[in-house]
Structure formats: C-alpha cells, structure tokens
C-alpha cells in the first residue's frame, strides 16, 4: 500500500519547519544588523518592536522541527540522526533562554528611546546568539540533506510500505549475512534502489534505532528480495541473524536513484568496496538478465577474498558473459600469489582494463571513506563529476 499520511507527515513537516525557523532567525539577524548600520533610529525602533511578534512563527517552527525530527529518528540516537538530535536542545535553549528575553528587553528599550550602552551590549549578545542558532540549524539542514540524499529523486508518494517475511538467510562472506525476504504485495523497484527495513518483533532497540536502510542486492525479476548486511553489534542485526524463518518484516520503499544509465554506447564502471556491492550486484544481474548492450566493469575492493560478498557468483558471471569484466582487488599483504589484484583501486588499475576512461558512467558504493577516496581518484584522473554517481554505506 502507499505510504500512509501518518508516515508522510513528519517528512513533510521536518524540512519545511526547519527552513521556516532558519529563515525567521536569519530575517531577525539581518534586519537588526542592517538597521543598526544603515537605517534611522525610527527604523531601528520599528525593527526591534516587530521582532517579538516574529516569535509567534519561530517558536512553533522550532517545536515542529524538533518533534518531527524525533518521530523520524525512530529510536536512533547515533550517527547523523543522533548528531542532529543533540543540537536541537541547544537550539531550543538558546532561543528560549537568550533570544526571546533579549528581544523583549531590546524592544522595550527601543520603545523608550533608551539607546544606551546597555542596549548595545545586549544587542551584541542577540546577534551572537542568533548567529549560533543559524549555524546549528544550518548544520542540521546539511546533515538532513545527507541523510535523505539516497531518496533525492524518489517522490514521497511513490513509496509503499508493506508486510513481508524472512524466507531464508545465509552467510555470503565472512561477517556478511544475506537475507531472503518475500516481496510485499505490489512491490516493485529498479535495480540499485534501497528500502527501509524494520522488525515488528524487535521489542527493544538500541542507539542505532529500529529501522535500517538496505540496498536491494537482487534484481527486479527475481521472486524474492535479497538484502545483505555486515553483522554488527546492533540489536536489530542480532535479531535478524537469529530470527526464525517466517519472521514478519516491514518494508518501506523503494528509494534511491543509483540506477543504471540508459545510454547503451557508454560503458558502466562500478567501483565497490565491502557491502557496497549490494546495489551494484542488483544492477549487474538486471543488466545481464535483460541482455543490455552496455559494457560492464566491476572493480571490487576488499581486504581478503573471504571478506568479499558474492565473489564466487560474480566470478562465474564474468566467465559466462563477455560484456561483464570483474577486477577483484585485495589489500591484505599476506595474500598468497594468484589470489587476485593487490592493493586499492587506483586510476592506473582502471586504465589497464578500461580502454577510454573518459567514456563510462562511474558508480561508487561502499564505506564513506572508500567512496570519498574514489571520488578523489576519479577527479585526479580528469573524470567529469557529472559522470560519477555515488552512494556511501556506513554499515551500522
């Protein structure tokens, strides 16, 4: 079924309320600074007496921002979500304990025409407090955009939320678990997209919350969804590792735009590290199933072969399909001879296998540090940033 209004509401309210709060404070700050620097005393009085009325907009906006953010967090208190939540009490306290009393004090002084040393001292305090809140709200907006980047071209109304079941699981690399999940009724997706997964049976969450983002590792034509994850100490992942077959699972999505380009003349070069292989596996399986004409190159970096999820399957696909080339590379110096390429993915390694490095579209997926390093490698190789599509996986 479509995402219910109750679930959509916080997602609509949060960015709008945050933007309103930020614009309101910015308006206060700029009007104060400009009137003091360039306007008449009458204008200063008008500005100072108008600002308290703006709190009728600012206070509800801040409350709506905090409340909707708490609802969206769904118990998560770590990562970017946790950082955003930690800033909100400071923003609220700064507003309630500093900005509002100061604004009321300055309005009273302005109406009385008392532009003395006290007025200007408190005025400086107001400008500093306003700048602090603008900075904190700006950081929250930046982190919010980073959190939702993977959904950036997915319309909110296009998502569905539905019930599924765990149908199977197995280890696909050391410390990496693949889950087979039934598709919710009416669920469809594009290769490379992701879902939110939550467990109705998870009675107690930890700081990482009750919801995780999983890229879909299977192709759209397959009857079930395959989701893969590194096993960590989170309660949700421990629950998944021990859950009985048939365990209810809630799936929301699909989201994301890390999908294969349509230009058949342009090769696709995939740069994957660790669990970042999941959306890339989906795209490769889909492209080979549909016999798409694009040349496909996968540069797959791991510490050791036993850490590389789906490696044997990808090697078999490369033998079966001439248009797909796999270059597996490993960073463990203790690897025996013949185990594969050594070291990290470099421009030199790519140049040995890709005839014209300027021609392909590049897809990057893996841990944030790996993705950032690959972006630097491509930039130094002169690859146009418009040809690079990236998605980072924190692995929590």
Give me the architecture of the 158-255 domain, per CATH. Answer: Beta Barrel (2.40)
Q: Give the three-class secondary structure for 170.
A: strand
CATH of 268-392, one of 1.10.472.10, 3.40.50.9100, 3.40.50.80, 3.30.9.10: 3.40.50.80
Q: What is the CATH number of domain 5-151?
A: 1.20.120
Q: Domain boundaries in the chain?
A: 5-151, 158-255, 268-392
271, containing H or E segment: strand 268-273
Q: What is the DSSP letter of 201?
A: T
pLDDT tens string 212-224: 889 999 999 999 9
Is the full-model pTM beyond 0.85? no
Q: What is the pLDDT of residues 196-243, one digit of tens each?
A: 898 888 777 666 677 888 999 999 999 999 999 988 878 888 888 888
Q: Are 282 and 219 in contact (CB under 8 A)?
A: yes
What would you report as the CA-atom Rg of the chain, rounded to the nearest whole angstrom?
26
Q: How much is the pLDDT for 389?
A: 94
d(CA 169, CA 185): 21
* Cβ atoms of 376 and 357 closer than 8 Å: no
The parts of the chain modelled with pLDDT lower than 70 are: 1-8, 74-80, 146-159, 205-208, 338-339, 394-396
Q: What is the pLDDT of residue 1?
A: 44
């Amino acid at each position: 079924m479509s995402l219910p209004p109750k679930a959509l509401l916080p997602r609509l309210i949060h960015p709008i309320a945050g933007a309103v709060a930020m614009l309101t404070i910015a308006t206060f700050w700029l009007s104060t600074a400009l009137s003091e620097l360039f306007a008449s005393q009458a204008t200063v009085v008008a500005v100072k007496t108008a600002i308290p009325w703006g709190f009728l907009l600012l206070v509800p906006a801040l409350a709506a921002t905090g409340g909707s953010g708490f609802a969206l967090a769904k118990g998560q208190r770590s990562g970017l979500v946790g950082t955003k939540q930690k800033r909100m009490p400071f923003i609220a306290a700064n507003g309630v304990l500093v900005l509002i009393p100061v604004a009321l004090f300055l309005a009273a002084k302005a109406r009385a025409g008392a532009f003395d040393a006290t007025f200007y001292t408190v005025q400086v305090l107001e400008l500093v407090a306003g700048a602090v809140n603008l900075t904190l709200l700006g950081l929250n907006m930046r982190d919010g955009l980073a959190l939702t980047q993977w959904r950036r071209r997915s319309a909110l109304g296009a998502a569905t939320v539905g019930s599924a079941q765990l149908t199977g699981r197995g280890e696909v690399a050391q410390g990496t678990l693949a889950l087979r999940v039934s598709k919710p009724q009416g669920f469809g997706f594009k290769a490379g997209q992701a879902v939110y997964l939550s467990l109705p049976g998870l009675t107690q969450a930890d700081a990482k919350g009750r919801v995780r983002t999983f890229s879909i590792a299977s192709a759209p034509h397959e009857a079930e969804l395959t989701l893969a994850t590194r096993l960590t100490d989170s309660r949700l992942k421990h629950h998944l590792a021990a859950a009985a077959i048939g365990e209810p699972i809630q799936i929301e999505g699909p989201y994301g735009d890390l999908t294969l380009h349509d230009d058949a003349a342009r090769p696709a070069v995939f740069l994957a590290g660790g669990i970042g292989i999941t959306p890339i596996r989906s795209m490769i399986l889909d492209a080979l199933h549909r016999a798409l004409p694009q040349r496909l190159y996968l540069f797959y970096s791991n510490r050791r072969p036993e850490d590389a999820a789906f490696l044997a399957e990808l090697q078999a696909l490369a033998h079966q399909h001439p248009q797909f080339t796999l270059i597996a590379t490993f960073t463990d110096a203790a690897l025996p001879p013949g185990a594969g390429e050594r070291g990290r993915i470099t421009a030199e390694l790519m140049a040995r296998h890709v005839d014209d490095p300027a021609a392909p579209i590049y897809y990057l997926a893996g841990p944030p540090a790996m993705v950032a390093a690959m972006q630097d490698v491509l930039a130094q190789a002169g690859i146009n940033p418009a040809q690079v599509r990236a998605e980072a996986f924190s692995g929590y």
